[in-house]
A and B are shown apart, each in its own frame.
Chain A
Amino acid sequence: MGDFFTLVDWAVEDAGFWGRLIGVVAVWAVPITVWVSVVGLFSIWLERKVSAHIQCRLGPMEVGPHGALQTLADGIKLLAKEDIIPQGADRFLFALAPILSFVGSFVVFAVVPFGPHLIIADLNLGIYFLAAIGSIEAIGVIAAGWASNNKWSVFGAVRAATQVVSYEIPLSLSLVTIACLAGTLSTIGIVESQAGWIWNWFLFRNPFMVISFLIFYIASLAECKRAPFDLPEAESELVSGFHTEYSGMRFAIFFLAEYAAMYVVSAMGAVLFLGGWYTGIEPLDSWLTTSPVLGNVVGALAIITKAFFLVFVQMWLRWTLPRIRLDQMMYLCFKVLVPVGMVVFMAAAFWQGVFGAPDLGGLGSKFGLAWFVVVVVGTTLWVKKTIRRTKGYASANFLEHQARLGHDVGVS
Chain B
Amino acid sequence: MSSEPASTTTDFAHSGDLRTEEMLLNMGPQHPATHGVLRVMVRTDGEMVIDCEPHVGYLHRCFEKHCESVSWLQSVLYTDRLDYLTAMGNNWGYCMAVERLFGGEIEVPERAEYLRVICQELNRVASHLLAIGTYGMDIGAITPFLYCFREREKILYIFETISGQRLNYNYIRPGGVAYDFTDDMVTMIGEFCEYFRPKMAEYNDLLSSNQIFKGRTANVGVLPIETAISYGCTGPVIRGSGVPRDLRKDQPYGVYDRFDFDVVVGSGEAGTLGDCFDRYICRVREMEQSIGIVEQALADLPGGEFRSPKIKQKIRPPKGEAYTRIENSRGEVGFYLVSDGKDVAYRNKCRSPSFHNIHVLPEISRGHMVADLIAIIGSMDIVLGEVDR
Contacts and interface: CB of A to CB of B under 8 A. Distances in A.
Contact of A322 (B26, B140, B157): B140
A392 B197 CA distance: 11
A230 B140 contact: yes
B370 interface: yes
Report whether over half of chain A's contact residues are helix, strand or loop; otherwise say mixed: loop
A54 B143 contact: yes
B371 A325 contact: yes
A236 B140 contact: yes
B369 A327 contact: yes
B215 A395 contact: no
B150 A322 contact: no
Contacts of A290: none
A56 interface: yes
Contacts, number: 95
A234 B143 contact: no
Interface in A301-341: 319-328
A325 B369 contact: yes
Contacts of B206: 320
Report whether over half of chain B's contact residues are helix, strand or loop; otherwise say mixed: helix
A151 interface: yes
Contacts of B314: none
Contacts of B216: 322-325, 328
Nearest to A318: B142
Contacts of A234: 140, 371
B140 A55 contact: no
Nearest to B158: A405
A189 B199 CA distance: 51
A392 to B, nearest CB: 6
Contacts of B138: 236
A239 interface: yes
Given A237-B33, A237-B371, A401 B215 contact: no
B212 A395 contact: no
A336 to B, nearest CB: 13
B372 A151 contact: no
Nearest to A151: B25
Interface string A381-412: 00000000010111100100100010100000
B12 to A, nearest CB: 12
Interface string B197-215: 0110110011100101101
A323 B146 CA distance: 17
B32 interface: yes
A270 to B, nearest CB: 26
Contact of B202 (A51, A54, A395, A405): A395
Nearest to B378: A236
Contact of B212 (A235, A236, A324): A324
A323 B157 CA distance: 32
A56 B205 CA distance: 16
Contacts of A320: 141, 143, 206
A387 B198 CA distance: 16
Given A237-B371, A328-B215, A322 B202 contact: no
Contacts of A390: 205
A242 interface: no
A239 B140 contact: no
A228 interface: yes
B229 interface: no
Contacts of B202: 393-395
Contacts of A323: 139-141, 212, 216, 371
B103 to A, nearest CB: 43
B195 A325 contact: no
Nearest to B372: A325
Given A321-B210, A323-B140, A236 B150 contact: no
Interface in B70-108: none
B146 A56 contact: yes
Interface in A6-27: none
A326 B210 contact: no
A55 B148 CA distance: 10
Contacts of A324: 212, 215-216
A202 interface: no
B369 A326 contact: yes
12 contacts: A55-B147, A56-B146, A151-B25, A155-B47, A234-B371, A236-B33, A237-B33, A319-B142, A323-B212, A324-B212, A326-B371, A393-B199
Interface of A: 51, 54-57, 151, 155, 158, 227-228, 230, 234-237, 239, 319-328, 390, 392-395, 398, 401, 405, 407
Given A236-B140, A395-B202, 6 more contacts: A54-B143, A55-B143, A56-B147, A228-B140, A234-B140, A235-B32
| Nearest 9 CB-CB pairings of A with B | A323-B140, A55-B146, A322-B141, A322-B139, A236-B33, A322-B140, A322-B212, A322-B213, A236-B138
